[in-house]
Amino acid sequence: MKVLVIGNGGREHALAWKLAQGQRVSQVYVAPGNGGTLRDARLKNVALTNPHELADWAEANKIALTVVGPEAPLAAGVVDIFRGRGLRIFGPTKAAAQLESSKAFAKDFMARHGIPTARYQTFSDANAAHAYVNEQGAPIVIKADGLAAGKGVVVAMTLEEAHAAIDMILRDNSLGVTHNVEGARVVIEQFLQGEEASFIVISDGVNVQALATSQDHKRLLDGDEGPNTGGMGAYSPAPVVTPNVHAKAMHEIIGPTIAGMAKDGVPFTGFLYAGLMIDAEGRPYTIEFNARLGDPETQPILMRLKSDLFELLYAATDGRLMEQELAWDRRAALGVVLAAHGYPMNPRKGDVISGLPDDQDDAMVFHAGTAANDKGQLVSNGGRVLCATALGESVRVAQQRAYELLEPIRFDGVQYRKDIGHRAISRK
């Protein structure tokens, strides 16, 4: 069977890599793909991004299953378009994807269905937002109501930072937010203390299976300092998600979300990502929803997955998710992101990449922002360029192997953190 993966990042490279291992899979296409999917003999890039053109191509090429990686095509309604043509596709509809594409929708949904989250208010008027921040004080969280490639959230530790974030979102849009139909809006939230974790599940609209837990590092610099990014590295499992926290997340957050979406007439099918804040008493709160797999969490999670991903997602599109069993490698996995010069605000493109190690079953460099230039050289083509990912008997061993994997890689201006996994290691 032929499979199509929509997207061009590290998450999509990992999805295509894993789907290509499926017993019934004959070919995996990636649209548009990147320099890594271009170099893999088992994968083929397709130079398309328009949802309607992708549906035409999938129909003409008899694609058995399409898997959507990033949030933008979901928010644009690619799942609705494919389903309207009778094509099998895994992901949420445009209406269900509002859990990610609109922070205001998600917060109102959680309030309506009693899902634990931070107190909040939504504003379109900058003066009113500034007044609210002055009234609440800092620290406080400022979120853009729209898609912003993981950079639309500012955790403001001072009032000055909060006011600057409001202006960036509502006045000059320097964060590059894709606003929703309501126009520029900002969600201002209570600051929650605790430790973050990524809790990702698969849903067929009714049933849910949890993926292995993970945790990512959002800040650019070691010690969780510097600006927020789309993620500088991740590891799985996340020790902070104890069995008790896992049970609470499923019972208090995931279950009510899937049931609530169905009750509201927008059943959620696809990957549902709940960003959790776990407080000192082990209580999880929802800080965000994503309507797809996380990046870079996908890379270590899929490296640990032993089940056939194609069979899992194919069954989910038929409402047969619970017929599938998820099997996991007992080892930990850790991925380190290598980012471009100027990331996250002004990443430079076109730097030649060299020194890539050979792929291994338990150690892979997944490509994100890469492409081939007119000389056939592999070059940087985005903010997050590569993710060196490895398995190990513990998070510490996986960390050591991932850093050994990236050591020979070279490109001008490369930046990466030296401490990915430090939270898990410090808990031992």
At 184-235, the pLDDT tens digits run 889 999 999 999 999 999 999 999 999 999 999 999 999 999 988 989 999 9
The reported pLDDT for the residue numbered 148 is: 63
Side by side, which strands form the sheet with 186-190? 120-123, 186-190, 140-144, 153-156
pLDDT confidence band for 380 (50 / 70 / 90): very high
Token output for 285: 């709160």
Average predicted confidence (pLDDT) for the chain: 94
Residue 151 has pLDDT above 80, yes or no: no
Rounded Cα distance, 36 and 9, in Å: 9
Dist CA 249 CA 243 (whole Å): 10
What is the rounded average pLDDT of the residues 335-342? Answer: 98
Supply φ then ψ for residue 277, to 5 degrees.
Answer: -115, 120
Find all residues with CB under 8 Å of 349, minimum gap 6, and list them.
Answer: 340, 369, 379, 380, 381, 382
Contact 417, 233 (CB under 8 A): yes
pLDDT band at 172 (very low <50, low <70, confident <90, very high): confident
150 Cβ contact partners less than 8 Å away, ≥ 6 residues apart: 228, 229, 230, 231, 295
The candidate with the shortest Cα–Cα distance to 267, out of 321, 310, 213, 214, is 321
Q: Is the distance from CB of 275 to CB of 198 less than 8 angstroms?
A: yes
By percentage, how much of the chain surpasses pLDDT 90?
89
Q: pLDDT of 224-259, one tens digit each?
A: 999 889 899 999 999 999 999 999 999 999 999 999
Q: Which of 171-180, 266-275, 313-322, 374-383 has the lowest mean pLDDT?
A: 171-180
**CA proximity to 20, closest of 361, 386, 363:** 361
- The total of other beta-carbon atoms located within 10 Å of residue 63's CB is 21
Lowest mean pLDDT across 15-24, 324-333, 418-427: 418-427
pLDDT tier, 426 (very low <50, low <70, confident <90, very high otherwise): confident
Give the 3-state secondary structure of residue 273: strand
Could you read off the pLDDT of 119-147 as tens digits, one per residue?
999 998 999 999 999 999 999 999 888 77
The span from the CA of 301 to the CA of 132, in Å, is 40
Q: Report the candidate in 377, 335, 383, 388 with the shortest Cα–Cα distance to residue 353.
A: 377
Cβ–Cβ under 8 Å, residues 14 and 37: no
CB 146 within 8 A of CB 152: yes
Spatial distance between the Cα atoms of 411 and 339, rounded to a whole number of angstroms:
10
Q: Is the dihedral of CA 335, 338, 342, 346 positive or negative?
A: negative
- Asked whether 164 and 249 are in contact (CB, 8 A), the reply is no
* Cβ 179 vs Cβ 146: under 8 Å: yes
**Measuring CA to CA, which residue among 105, 319, 333 is closest to residue 216?**
333
Contact 349, 382 (CB under 8 A): yes
**Contact at 8 Å (CB) between 146 and 102?**
yes
Query: How sure is the predictor about 174, in pLDDT bands with cuts at 50, 70 and 90?
Result: low
Query: In angstroms, rounded to a whole number, what is the distance separating the alpha carbons of residues 352 and 339?
Result: 13
Span 59-72, mean pLDDT? 97
Please check whether residue 184 is in contact with residue 169, taking contact to mean a CB–CB distance below 8 angstroms.
Answer: yes
Backbone φ and ψ for 247, nearest 5 degrees, come out as -65, -40
Evaluate if residue 354 carries a pLDDT over 60.
yes
> Shortest CA distance to 313 belongs to which of 222, 217, 409, 211?
211
* Exposed / middle / buried, residue 428 (Cβ in 10 Å: 0-12, 13-18, 19+): exposed
| Per-residue pLDDT at 171 exceeds 90 | no
| Whether pLDDT at 150 is above 70 | no
- Residue 143: which of 122, 159, 128 has the closest Cα? 122
Dist CA 107 CA 359 (whole Å): 42
pLDDT tens per residue, range 9-41:
999 999 999 999 999 999 999 999 999 999 999
pLDDT band at 43 (very low <50, low <70, confident <90, very high): very high
Statement: residue 159 has pLDDT above 60 = yes
Check: CB of residue 15 under 8 Å from CB of residue 67. yes
Q: Tokens 């203390």 correspond to what residue? A: 193
- Per-residue pLDDT reduced to its tens digit, 251-264: 999 999 999 999 99
pLDDT for 153 beyond 90: no
Residue entry with tokens 């309506």:
112
